[in-house]
Structure 1
Amino acid sequence: MNRPFTRRLLAYAGSAVLGLAGAFVLASPAQAHHTVVTAKAKCTPNEWVISWTVENWDTQMSATLQVTANPDTPITNIVDGATLPGKTKNNKGGKLYGDQTVPLSTTSADLSITGTWTNGVSATNTGHIDLDRTNCGNYKADVTGSARCDAESGTWQVTWAVVNKHYTDAAVAKIVNNPADLKFSGTLTDGTWTPLADKTQVVGLADGQSIPGGATVNATQTVPGTAAGARLKVKLDWNGGPGSATPQPGAAEDTDSSEIAFEGACIKNSPKPSVTFAVDCTGVVTVTLINAAEATKAATFEVTGADGWTSGPVVVQAGEKALPVTVPAKNAKKISVTEGGVLLPGGEYTPEVQHCDEPSPSPSGSPQPHLPTTGANVTLAVVSGLVLIAVGAVIFLLARRRRLNLTDV
């Protein structure tokens, strides 16, 4: 009796099923062709770095992308015209990765991807991420240090770096030098740690100083060259102190320390100066300036004489040949020698009076000049005369003895 009604009901049901099936068939390409856009973010002291991933649906077809980003800052790899690869037969791959940087003040980011597949079907999908900079970084302090020997002063020059590792909230610093605290600030000498007596020795960091979020404070310290090490301990407090953007009552404080072991001793460079004096018989003084070979620094001498005479600065390098300086006799009555502005031991000199010997003439290699000889040889004549006189005297004596008559002879 109800067959006509039943047939009509079945007809309506069949039509509905066919309609739904047709709608599913027509809609399936659009529903199947899609991308999945996801993001992760990490912050630095000044910006966010967002890592985007665009994933293809379960197909081996590739797609050409059109990209819209908000904020509109560049994204690596994910750009207009980029190709999104298809997946492999085992449903692997099919992803494109890119990084985007945005200011730290950014609160969210969106990425819209329109993909057009090789079969001509297009689809648009978006990704979103919220950014909360109050979660950036950690409420942590970080202290590091390094040292070098300054040979000019013979001291260790230490450089400290104190970092506020929370990127947004400022912290208030305090140098810990209480010996009751573990690893207090101080110096190591002969195996014993001595607390930092004066916090102002750490130049550039002070108690109560505010360190902005993500900032680094650099400080310096001069330590004696005989020390074997140095240590700095700092507490940072984020509990609503000056400059704190978001006070964190209760537990927002942290302490860190850094310890440096020095290598050997830091010995000051120094010259090894000495001086000698010598004077000649004219009163001229020779001052010899010496800087010994074991010196580690050049010596700067100055020789000063009477009446304002000065040599000016005279530099002698370590181990260099001794350098003579001549002081004129008229300025050599009193001499002083300084090195680096300090009078040298034995650096004053008053010369003793010297007498010069009279010079004797040197023998000549050529005959001395004389007058020319003229006339007879006088010496020969005189000798001949004397001989004749002697002969005459002998004859006279003989004649007298014999009583000879000279006229008879």
Structure 2
Amino acid sequence: MIRPKLSLRRPLAVLAAALIGLTGAAAVATPASAHHTNISAIVDCDQLSGERVITWTVENSEKRKTATITGVKANPETDVLLLSDGTTHLKDAVIQKGGFVEAVQRVPGDTKSATLTVDAAWFMKGDPWKKKAPRSSDSKTIDLTADGACTPAPKCVDASEAKYSHTFDGPKGTATVKLAGDLPLCGDEKQYFTLVSYFAPRPQFATPQYVYGEPDSDFLGAGQTEIELNVGVPDCHTQVDLIWGGVDEVIDPLVEDGPRYGSKKLGEKGAPGNRSSGPQGWYNGGSKNCTTPASTFSSACDGSVTVSLSNDGSISKYPVEFEVRAENGWSKTVTVAPGEADNETVVPAENAGKIEVLVDGKVIENGTYSWERPEDCPLPTVTTDADCETFGLTASNPEGGMPVKVEFTYGDKTETRTVAPGSSEKVTFPAGDEEAALVVLPELGLELEVVYAPEGCGGGGGGDEEPGLPVTGAAAGGIAAGAVALLALGAVLFVMARRRRIHFTA
């Protein structure tokens, strides 16, 4: 069998021609694709205008040839101006060998992306028609949302967003509040702050509390960016608060289970107080009670003492519990409301030695007293009943007074009696040669000398007359006159006779 011969010449020739054509095409295209521009960009936000500012950089890939930008297309369609000039458009710019040019484009702040397309040509010498120059068209798209929205910088701050800083000195009652940052509050907006002080029952938080004086309130706004606040602080237990808001926010009084300032106090962890940075804006302290306990004493002729208790001073805002304590364990507790007084506490005579008035276990100022005999108390009186055989002396103590000790001395004999109020005690001495008896009231510091001179007796200054009548009335002469004088002027005589002897002829 004869097989036909196949010839490979024609296919090989076709393949060779194709390879030669492809090689030639490659040789022509390579120089054109090698010339290109590199585009990059950085993006900023202009907070004054709220625009995105794109700085485009266009690099020349050729280190031996200059490039001329022949066309520029931007999306969004806003001007792309040379950075070095600021007014010249990027088109027609020349890029030096291996160099670059920068251009700036501004686009709205809410633009999501931007694209720059640059056409460039590398013109060759000896090509007047510039038809053989290598050319390229390069494009770059950038995302403008990566850094968030670009909006104009605010010219003011809304009161609901404003931040503050503060200082606070509770014991001195001073504070300052300052708007943070450089921006004022917008429009006519105002933010009030108030400093208030209270009377308090204890140096720690406790109720009830009552506002002391006038709270100080002021606002930030209308160009005012800092305020100073000052309040008086009571000279007693107190609470001082720096609060968010005006005087209408002040709570008076602060009572148990009532409203509280809570996070309105500046420096708190919660809003709105945490919108101001600084120390805690509240203080509790003071060294003494917000009361003015006082006592006065009045002695009675019967030995008792009336203690008057008052709680009506300028800082008396709370009830006071007084304890009146006297000798022999006698004690009484009296509670006096603020602004009130109690005048009904009487210490009995048997206990009215040293008396003390105490509050919280401590004796108050001027709270110690001992009974003193009032100057207007009626004094005891002494009358005589004398004859030629006896010398009688009677001491009488008016009602309403205290028992009084009386010492009667005549010659070498002394008799002592205690005379109860409203009663009398009499002693009788045998008549002797002594001309006078001494009557002493040691507890009152009084003494009285009474002369023994009965009428009608032989001797003793009376001669041989008959004994005189008892001294019971207004009989004339000697002892009767003395007795009447004692009865009528006894009190005065004793007062005038303190530590002096007054001679009366009996």
* TM-score between both structures, scaled by the size of structure 1: 0.35
Name the one with the larger helix percent. 1
* TM-score between both structures, scaled by the size of structure 2: 0.29
| More relative contact order, 1 or 2 (CA 8 Å, 6+ apart) | 1
